[in-house]
């Protein structure tokens, strides 16, 4: 799996039922790139598209069972990696760092 596939797969894991445009807006990735990546994820049987019952022109994205299992494995790897890289850093420093990153993220989301 490449970085974009992991990013989109985990976004669907966190927000099942979103559509490709939601991902485009959140990550500032082109619609063509999202379309290509979701197609690859569907070919790997990690996600599926279902028609939005409220709007027939939209497709919503959901994990398959295989996709759910893949996300569970990725999250274990990320937690292990995270625990290793923050080892020895005081909790108050981690909290301040997290707050700073959250502000940076908010500023990015407000950009046109």
| Per-residue pLDDT in tens (0 to 9) along the chain, 112 residues | 999 999 999 999 999 999 998 998 888 889 899 999 999 999 999 999 999 888 888 899 999 999 999 999 999 999 999 999 999 999 999 999 999 999 999 998 888 6
Q: Where are the domains of the chain?
A: 3-110
| Three-state secondary-structure class, residue 63 | strand
Q: Are 12 and 61 in contact (CB under 8 A)?
A: yes
CA 42 to chain centroid: 15
Q: Are 67 and 60 in contact (CB under 8 A)?
A: no
Domain 3-110, CATH class in plain words: mainly alpha
Phi, psi (rounded to 5 degrees) for 58: -110, 145
DSSP assignment letter at 86: S
């Amino acid at each position: 799996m490449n970085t974009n596939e992991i990013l989109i797969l985990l976004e669907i894991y966190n927000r099942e039922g979103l559509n490709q445009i939601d991902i485009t807006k959140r990550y500032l990735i082109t619609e063509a790139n999202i379309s290509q990546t979701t197609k690859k994820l569907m070919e790997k049987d990690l996600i599926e598209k279902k028609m939005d019952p409220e709007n027939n022109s939209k497709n919503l994205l959901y994990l398959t069972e295989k996709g759910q299992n893949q996300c569970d494995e990725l999250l274990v790897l990320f937690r292990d990696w995270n625990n290793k890289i923050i080892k020895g850093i005081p909790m108050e420093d981690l909290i301040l760092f997290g707050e700073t990153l959250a502000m940076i993220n908010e500023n990015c989301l407000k950009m046109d």
